[in-house]
Amino acid sequence: MKRAVLIVDHGSRLPEANELLEAVAARVRERLPDRLVRTAHLDVAEPRIPAAIDACAAEGAREIVVAPWFLSPGAHTARDLPRIAEEAARRHPGLRVACAAPLGQDERLVEVLLERIAGT
């Protein structure tokens, strides 16, 4: 069964912000070479999440994990992403779409924040 990871963020009008997500995806591809790894945006930039899910399905994915590049739980991770996943599963019978948790409070992120603070 072909599996995919769709890393999603809010999207930005600034190309460098969207390029950051692509850089993250490139690193994930290195670590998960057996999966399709794609990116998408909730709003503002292309591709949008529904279109990216459709593209993964067209590439043969039968299972997709939507991985939010969001720090905090909120409306997007609690409501919007699950709704988009459910709609995609209805469009593609046999496709399993699951949503991962946001990055959240993780000690590794605290360490990165402390490094950034120290670097100022």
pLDDT, tens digit (0-9, with 9 covering 90-100), for 7-39: 999 999 999 999 999 999 999 999 999 999 999
Q: What is the mean pLDDT of residues 53-75?
A: 96
pTM for this entry: 0.94
- Sole residue written with tokens 């997709």: 64
Report the SS3 class of residue 93: coil
Please report which confidence band the pLDDT of residue 1 belongs to, taking 50, 70 and 90 as the band edges.
Answer: confident
Contact 120, 83 (CB under 8 A): no
pLDDT of residue 106: 92
Per residue in 90-110, pLDDT (tens digit) is 999 999 999 999 999 899 999
How many independent structural domains does the chain possess? 1
Q: In angstroms, rounded to a whole number, what is the distance separating the alpha carbons of residues 60 and 81? A: 21
Q: Considering the chain, what percentage of its residues have pLDDT values greater than 70? A: 100
Q: What is the mean pLDDT of residues 36-47?
A: 97
| CATH for 70 | 3.40.50.1400
Burial pattern 47-56, b for ≥16 Cβ within 10 A else e, equals: bbbeebbbbb
State which residues form the domain around 78.
2-118
- Sole residue written with tokens 């963020």: 9
Residue from 44, 42, 64 nearest 53 by CA: 64
Please report which confidence band the pLDDT of residue 83 belongs to, taking 50, 70 and 90 as the band edges.
Answer: very high
The overall average pLDDT reported for the chain is 96
